[in-house]
Structure 1
Amino acid sequence: MTAVVVTRRGPALWARIDRPGAGNACDSAVLAGLERWLAGAEDPGVRALVLTGTGRSFCAGADLTEATGLLGDLPALLAFLDRGRSLVRAIRAARVPTVAAVNGAAFGGGLELLLACDVAVAAGSARLGDRHLAVGQVPGWGSSVLLPLAVGPALARRLLVTGETWSADEAARRGLVSEAVADADLGPHVDALVATVAARDERAVRRMLGLARPAVADAAWEREWAALAAHVADQAADRAGPPGPPA
Structure 2
Amino acid sequence: MTSVVVTRRGPALWARIDRAGAGNACDSTVLAGLEGWLAGATDPDVRVLVLTGTGRSFCAGADLAETTGLLGDLPALLALLDRGRRLVRRMRAAELPTVAAVNGAAFGGGLELLLACDIAVAADSARIGDRHLAVGQVPGWGSSVLLPLAVGPALARRLLVTGETWSAEDSARRGLVSGTVADDQLVAHVDALAAAVAALDPTAVRRMLRIARPVVADAAWEREWETLTAHVTAQATGVE
Report the TM-score when normalising by structure 2: 0.99
Tell whether 2:20 aligns with 1:20.
Answer: yes
Residue 13 of structure 1 aligns to a residue whose secondary structure is strand
Provide the rounded CA distance (Å) in 1 between the counterparts of 2:188 and 2:168. Answer: 17
Segments of 5+ residues of structure 1 without an aligned counterpart are 242-247
Q: Superposition pairs for residues 17-166 of structure 1, below 5 Å?
A: 17-166=17-166
2:213 counterpart letter in structure 1: R
Q: Superposition pairs for residues 159-198 of structure 1, below 5 Å?
A: 159-198=159-198
1:119 counterpart letter in structure 2: I
More deviation, 34-43/49-58 = 34-43
Provide the rounded CA distance (Å) in 1 between the counterparts of 2:162 and 2:94. Answer: 32
Once the 2 structures are TM-superposed, how far is the Cα of residue 175 of structure 1 from its aligned partner? 0.2
Once the 2 structures are TM-superposed, how far is the Cα of residue 2 of structure 1 from its aligned partner? 1.3
Once the 2 structures are TM-superposed, how far is the Cα of residue 43 of structure 1 from its aligned partner? 2.2
Once the 2 structures are TM-superposed, how far is the Cα of residue 42 of structure 1 from its aligned partner? 2.6
CA RMSD of aligned residues (A): 0.8
4+ long deviations beyond 3 Å = none
Tell whether 2:211 aligns with 1:211.
Answer: yes
1:42–1:95 Cα contact (<8 Å) kept: no
Residue 15 of structure 1 aligns to a residue whose secondary structure is strand
Residue 106 of structure 2 aligns to a residue whose secondary structure is strand
Which residue of the partner structure matches residue 244 of structure 1?
none
Once the 2 structures are TM-superposed, how far is the Cα of residue 234 of structure 1 from its aligned partner? 0.7
Once the 2 structures are TM-superposed, how far is the Cα of residue 41 of structure 1 from its aligned partner? 2.1
Residue 229 of structure 2 aligns to a residue whose secondary structure is helix
Provide the rounded CA distance (Å) in 1 between the counterparts of 2:73 and 2:44. Answer: 41
Provide the rounded CA distance (Å) in 2 between the counterparts of 1:38 and 1:80. Answer: 18
Provide the rounded CA distance (Å) in 2 between the counterparts of 1:196 and 1:44. Answer: 16
The aligned length equals 239
More deviation, 38-47/13-22 = 38-47
1:41–1:94 Cα contact (<8 Å) kept: no
Segments of 5+ residues of structure 2 without an aligned counterpart are none
1:71–1:77 Cα contact (<8 Å) kept: yes
Residue 41 of structure 1 aligns to a residue whose secondary structure is coil
Once the 2 structures are TM-superposed, how far is the Cα of residue 95 of structure 1 from its aligned partner? 1.0
Report the TM-score when normalising by structure 1: 0.96
Quick one: percent identity of the two aligned structures? 82
Provide the rounded CA distance (Å) in 1 between the counterparts of 2:42 and 2:119. Answer: 20
Once the 2 structures are TM-superposed, how far is the Cα of residue 45 of structure 1 from its aligned partner? 1.6
Once the 2 structures are TM-superposed, how far is the Cα of residue 18 of structure 1 from its aligned partner? 0.2
Provide the rounded CA distance (Å) in 2 between the counterparts of 1:45 and 1:74. Answer: 42
Provide the rounded CA distance (Å) in 1 between the counterparts of 2:38 and 2:128. Answer: 23
1:23 counterpart letter in structure 2: G
Residue 35 of structure 2 aligns to a residue whose secondary structure is helix
Which residue of the partner structure matches residue 11 of structure 2?
11
Provide the rounded CA distance (Å) in 1 between the counterparts of 2:177 and 2:135. Answer: 24
Q: Larger Cα Rg: Structure 1 or Structure 2?
A: 1
Provide the rounded CA distance (Å) in 2 between the counterparts of 1:111 and 1:44. Answer: 29
Provide the rounded CA distance (Å) in 2 between the counterparts of 1:145 and 1:152. Answer: 11
